[in-house]
């Protein structure tokens, strides 16, 4: 019996090390074609319901820094943030989640889409990263895994100052090297519904094309306010690539800020705009801007939108 327990422990440690090595390996990203060309179809799998007891509730920011009110009682500005946090480690590979938390907190964003979020991963100190970030902010959150090995996870997260009514983690067509998904959440702002989508696309161009096809199918089935954020792992309008649904607009293009790059691809300075925010055409975009991160290799991407209360509101 003693030998069996030792054997079981060895198997567990080997599996744990393998999981760590796998996710550490896929973290080294490239926009060139992956050596693994085979793909598999993953069925849609909803995630578990939101545990509302896990985070505190706070009122969203309702004033600017100078103390003035946000527009009128019938409208307010909502700050969106899309941020690939590189599993909370700095440029030297040191665990630095607290630095990421401070950057997000200082941004005063209301709805936050995070990519490359670890859950009890050895390389990032066995932390539940999204819970720690949301706890400091006092916001609601949901998590959508793309990799899960023995409870050690890696994936995407949505954090919101506003209540999250429901969410679903939808698996996307993926390479065997790393599974991909899109996290979909329904958020209530003053009783009006916003559909928030967060994704991190694959490394292979054909894989991304198929993934965007699937995302467009999801978007086409949504009505009302839709916001899509994420790390798309390629530039806009790649020849032969699939375009995002024409139901949505790129906030950088709307505000003529396409020159604001977000990632340094084989360069010392950002030279690629692979992190983007899209919103429904009827949503008014007030501003789009980018801020470099002291910790992650991706910049933080922001869009400021105008929320107008719907007098004839209802669940969409």
pLDDT digit string, tens, across residues 2-42: 555 555 555 445 454 444 444 444 443 333 222 222 222 22
pLDDT (average), residues 77-88? 95
Domain residue extents for the chain = 30-308
pLDDT digit string, tens, across residues 255-272: 999 999 999 999 999 999
Who has greater pLDDT, 155 or 38?
155
Who has greater pLDDT, 17 or 285?
285
pLDDT at residue 161 greater than cutoff 70 = yes
Beta bridge partners of 140: 160
For every residue of the chain, which 3-state class applies, written as one string? CHHHHHHHHHHHHHHHHHHHHHHHHHCCCCCCCCCCCCCECCCCCCCCCCCHHHCCCCCCCCECCCCCECCCCCEEEEEEEEEECHHHECCCCCECHHHHHHHHHHHCCCEEEEEEEEECCHHHCCCEHHHHHHHHHCCEEEEEEEEEECCEEEEEEEEECCCEEEEEEEEECECCCCCEEEEEEEEEECCEEEEEEEEECCCCHHHHHHHHHHHHHHHHCCCCEEEEEEECCCCCCCCCCCCCCCCEEEHHHHCCCCCCCCECCCCCCCCECCEEEEEECCCEEEEEEEECCCCCCECEEEEEEEEECCCCCCCC
pLDDT (average), residues 67-72? 48
pLDDT at residue 56 greater than cutoff 70 = no
Q: Which pLDDT value is given to residue 281?
A: 98
pLDDT at residue 114 greater than cutoff 70 = yes
Q: Which pLDDT value is given to residue 74?
A: 80
Q: Which pLDDT value is given to residue 96?
A: 85
pLDDT at residue 43 greater than cutoff 50 = no
> What is the rounded CA–CA span in Å between residue 114 and residue 264?
18
pLDDT (average), residues 272-289? 98
Fold of 30-308: Deoxyribonuclease I; Chain A (3.60.10)
204 Cβ contact list (under 8 Å, min separation 6): 33, 34, 36, 37, 175
Who has greater pLDDT, 136 or 310?
136
Q: Which pLDDT value is given to residue 51?
A: 35
> What is the rounded CA–CA span in Å between residue 303 and residue 91?
26
pLDDT (average), residues 177-194? 96
Highest average pLDDT, of 33-42, 59-68, 72-81, 164-173, comes from: 164-173
CB count in 10 Å sphere of residue 61: 16
Q: Which pLDDT value is given to residue 73?
A: 67
pLDDT at residue 315 greater than cutoff 60 = no
pLDDT at residue 312 greater than cutoff 90 = no
> What is the rounded CA–CA span in Å between residue 26 and residue 176?
11
In the predicted model, what is the mean pLDDT of the chain? 81
Q: Which pLDDT value is given to residue 42?
A: 21
pLDDT at residue 186 greater than cutoff 60 = yes
Rounded percentage of the chain residues whose pLDDT exceeds 70: 75
Who has greater pLDDT, 104 or 21?
104
């Amino acid at each position: 019996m003693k030998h069996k327990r030792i054997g079981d422990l060895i198997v567990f440690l080997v599996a744990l090390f393998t999981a760590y090595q796998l996710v550490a390996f896929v973290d080294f990203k490239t926009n060139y074609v992956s050596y693994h060309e085979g793909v598999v179809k993953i069925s849609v799998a909803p995630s578990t319901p939101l545990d509302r007891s896990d985070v505190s509730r706070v009122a969203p920011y309702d004033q600017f820094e100078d103390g003035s009110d946000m527009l009128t009682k019938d409208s307010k500005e909502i700050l969106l943030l899309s941020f690939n946090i590189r599993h909370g480690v700095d440029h030297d590979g040191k665990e630095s989640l607290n630095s990421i938390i401070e950057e997000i907190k200082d941004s005063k964003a209301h709805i936050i889409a995070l990519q490359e979020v670890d859950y009890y991963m050895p390389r990032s100190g066995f932390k539940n990263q999204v819970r720690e970030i949301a706890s400091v902010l006092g916001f609601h959150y949901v998590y959508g895994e793309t990799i899960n090995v023995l409870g050690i996870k890696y994936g995407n997260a949505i954090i919101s100052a506003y209540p999250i009514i429901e969410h679903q983690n939808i698996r996307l067509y993926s390479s065997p090297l790393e599974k991909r998904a899109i996290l979909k959440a329904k958020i209530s702002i003053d009783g009006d519904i916003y559909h928030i989508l967060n994704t991190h696309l694959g490394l292979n161009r054909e894989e991304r094309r198929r993934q965007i096809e699937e995302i467009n199918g999801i978007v086409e089935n949504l009505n009302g306010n839709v916001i899509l954020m994420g790390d798309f792992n390629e530039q806009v309008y790649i020849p032969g690539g699939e375009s995002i649904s024409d139901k949505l607009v790129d906030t950088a293009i709307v505000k003529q800020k396409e020159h604001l790059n977000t990632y340094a691809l084989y360069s010392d300075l950002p030279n690629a705009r692979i992190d983007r925010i899209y919103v429904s055409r009827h949503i008014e975009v007030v501003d789009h801007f980018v801020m470099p991160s002291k910790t992650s290799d991706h910049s933080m991407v922001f869009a400021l939108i105008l929320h107008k209360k719907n007098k004839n509101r209802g669940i969409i």
